[in-house]
Amino acid sequence: AQSVAQPEDQVNVAEGNPLTVKCTYSVSGNPYLFWYVQYPNRGLQFLLKYITGDNLVKGSYGFEAEFNKSQTSFHLKKPSALVSDSALYFCAVVGGGNKLTFGTGTQLKVEL
Amino acid sequence: NAGVTQTPKFRVLKTGQSMTLLCAQDMNHEYMYWYRQDPGMGLRLIHYSVGEGTTAKGEVPDGYNVSRLKKQNFLLGLESAAPSQTSVYFCASDDRAGELFFGEGSRLTVL
Q: Which domain holds residue B63?
A: 4-110
Which residues have C-beta within 8 Å of that of residue B23, sequence separation ≥ 6? Answer: B4, B5, B6, B32, B34, B73, B74, B75, B76, B91, B93, B103
Chain B residues whose CB is inside 8 A of the A32 CB are: 97-98
| Residue A52 at interface with chain B, using a CB cutoff of 8 Å | no
Judge: B92–A41 Cβ closer than 8 Å, yes or no.
no
pLDDT for residue B96 is more than 80: no
Judge: B40–A104 Cβ closer than 8 Å, yes or no.
yes
Cβ(B21)–Cβ(B6) under 8 Å? yes
Domains of chain B: total: 1
Q: Decide: helix, strand or coil at residue B85.
A: helix
Rounded Cα–Cα distance for residues B41 and B62 (Å): 17
Domains of chain A: total: 1
Q: Which domain holds residue A56?
A: 3-111
Cβ(B92)–Cβ(B4) under 8 Å? yes
CATH at residue B70: 2.60.40.10
C-alpha A88: how far from chain center = 10
- Is residue A41 very low, low, confident or very high in pLDDT (cuts 50, 70, 90)? confident
CATH at residue A66: 2.60.40.10
Choose the mutation target among A44, A47, A94 for the interface with B, i.e. most B CBs under 10 Å. Answer: A44
Judge: B98–A100 Cβ closer than 8 Å, yes or no.
yes
Of the candidates B8, B55, B44, B35, the one whose C-alpha atom is nearest the C-alpha of residue B102 is B35
Q: What is the pLDDT of residue A5?
A: 96
Residue-wise pLDDT tens digits, B3-26: 999 999 999 999 999 999 999 999
Residue-wise pLDDT tens digits, A56-111: 999 999 999 999 999 999 999 999 999 999 999 999 998 766 788 899 999 999 99
Q: How far is B61 from chain A (nearest CA, A)?
A: 14
Chain A residues whose CB is inside 8 A of the B90 CB are: 43-44
